[in-house]
Amino acid sequence: MSAKLAGGLLAARATGAVLRRAGRGGTSLPGKILTRVEPHAIGRLAARLERGSVVISATNGKTTTAAMVSAIMRRTGATLVHNRAGANMAGGVAAALAGAARRGGRELDGDLGLFEVDEFWLGTVVEELEPRAMLLGNLFRDQLDRYGELETIADRWAGIVAARDPATTLVLNADDPVIADLGRMTLPVYYGVDDDALALPELQHASDSKHCRRCGHAYVYDAAYLAHLGHYRCPNCGQHRPGPSVRATAVELRGISASAFTLHAEGGERRIELPLPGLYNVYNALAAAALTLSLGAGLDDVAAGLAAVEPAFGRAETLDLGGRPTSILLVKNPAGANEVLRTLALEGEQLDLFGVLNDRTADGRDISWVWDADWEVIAPHVRRMTCSGTRAAELALRLKYAGVDAGRLDVVEDIETGLDRALAEGDGGRAGPLYVVPTYTALLELRDLLTRRGQVEAYWR
Ligand SMILES: [Zn+2]
């Protein structure tokens, strides 16, 4: 065992202890320190995982999909080493492994590594981990000023897929043309949705990938389900959606609280009851099912794990804020926002909303995506919407353009004041539900605020 690794672990542990004493437990700094001392710490520690490791990447749904995989794999007896939600760069992966290391890295608490990895960091992490399986879920336009075009990431991912150990199982979304094409030269496990009743009349504004990856011709969609996800084909070169071996049919969306679908796989089929809303979560569940089945989980474990999964903070869980049921739904890009808005539109006739739009670095300074999201879908349902955050006025302007009467909109930049106003107004004080749609940094501010006020202890794990 290398002295460098043992030394790096000591330094990481000491840093973690200092941060915890300062009340700042949640950073990937210990991981960064570890990889500074031992650049191959991730690979060396991960080599101790008896069941190997799996990696999940996507623009949308990484955290929820990882939570689902965790719920399923625990039922199979696996003990997981799992990075914290959002700590999904190399430092976060290293920090998770460091946290599980014992005896200078000679032993690990846990036998299966489960890592959600940022799109941009995938290559670095995969090179070190040599994962057993790699799940690639979707690519949407996100934070353009940080990452550049979607095609750049797609090209980078194609390189990662080509360079991977051939023993690594690839699990790919057949319904995303960019993702599906990554499987061109190999034999991946494909998953996808087969449900004509869900098809949208036409591609949404936010569709990112309308042109054939191979010849550049526009795709024809026989069914578009969610942004550019669906059943597509290229009339020019013949490229088409591959037939998935793991499929969802008979999808049932039950407003903001739940959904269900029939899961078809090689071993049979099961009706899946999901305590999470929206088609995007059906995709996350299908991805988790395809990945865990490829790891040897049985269909009963998949169904039971998915039925028991709990929403992560800001991914549609409901809190009680002073007697008012409050649901928080993170929005961070047009495709994700459209799914949240569609889900909300199913929820009821008249909605009270609290929207928080920030343009801090982690949100991407460019918030022009707000104009691409289909707020028109909920415009007829807005009874009251309070807009907060650094770009509160722009959010209100977008809603006005979507057709919401100015008298129903309230602009309060400060989040805490805005939240209290939103809680007090709307449904005539009758304690009806409030729906909160924050961007990423707004979600973190909200979580800190609610923690400070003692309103989220039960949910904050
Ligand atoms: Zn083509």
pLDDT tens-digit profile of 136-149?
A: 999 987 654 455 57
| Distance between Cα 231 and ligand 1 center (Å) | 14
| Distance between Cα 182 and ligand 1 center (Å) | 14
| Distance between Cα 242 and ligand 1 center (Å) | 14
Mean pLDDT of 357-374: 81
Distance (Å, rounded) from C-alpha 269 to C-alpha 261?
Answer: 10
Continuous H helices in 164-247 = 177-180
Strands (E) in 90-238, as ranges, are 101-102, 107-108, 112-116, 133-136, 169-173, 189-193, 220-226, 229-233
**Cα 403 to Cα 59, 92, 250, 434, distances in angstroms:** 29, 42, 33, 20
Mean pLDDT of 9-17: 86
Whole-number pLDDT of residue 348: 72
Q: What is the mean pLDDT of the chain?
A: 88
Which residues are close to ligand 1, an ion, with C-beta < 5 A?
Answer: 212, 214-215, 217, 234, 236-237, 239
| Distance between Cα 226 and ligand 1 center (Å) | 21
Q: Length of the chain in residues, anyone?
A: 461
Whole-number pLDDT of residue 209: 62
Three-class DSSP category at 43: helix
Strands (E) in 118-200, as ranges, are 133-136, 169-173, 189-193
Which pLDDT tens digit goes with each residue over 375-431? 999 999 999 999 999 999 999 999 999 999 999 999 999 999 999 999 988 665 567
| Distance between Cα 181 and ligand 1 center (Å) | 11
| Distance between Cα 216 and ligand 1 center (Å) | 6
pTM, two decimal places: 0.79
| Distance between Cα 212 and ligand 1 center (Å) | 5
Mean pLDDT of 120-148: 84
Would you say residue 359 has pLDDT above 90?
A: no
Sequence letter at residue 435? Y
Count Cβ neighbours within 10 Å for each residue of 44-68 and write b for 16 or more, e otherwise. bbbebbebbbbbbbbbbbbbbbbbb
Region of poorest pLDDT, from 4-8, 208-212, 340-344, 443-447: 208-212
Distance (Å, rounded) from C-alpha 295 to C-alpha 315?
Answer: 26
Region of poorest pLDDT, from 206-210, 260-264, 351-355: 206-210
Mean pLDDT of 26-30: 76
| Distance between Cα 233 and ligand 1 center (Å) | 8
- Helices 29-37 and 90-100 cross at an angle (nearest 10°) of 90
* Sequence-distant contacts of 85-89: CB under 8 A, at least 24 apart: 85/116, 85/312, 85/313, 87/26, 87/27, 87/28, 87/31, 88/62, 88/115, 88/116, 88/117, 88/118, 88/121, 89/28, 89/117, 89/118, 89/120, 89/121
Which pLDDT tens digit goes with each residue over 281-324? 999 999 999 999 999 999 999 999 999 987 766 666 678 887 88
| Distance between Cα 156 and ligand 1 center (Å) | 20
Nearest Cα residue to 287 out of 187, 189, 206, 198: 189
Three-class DSSP category at 145: helix
| Distance between Cα 179 and ligand 1 center (Å) | 15
Would you say residue 82 has pLDDT above 80?
A: yes
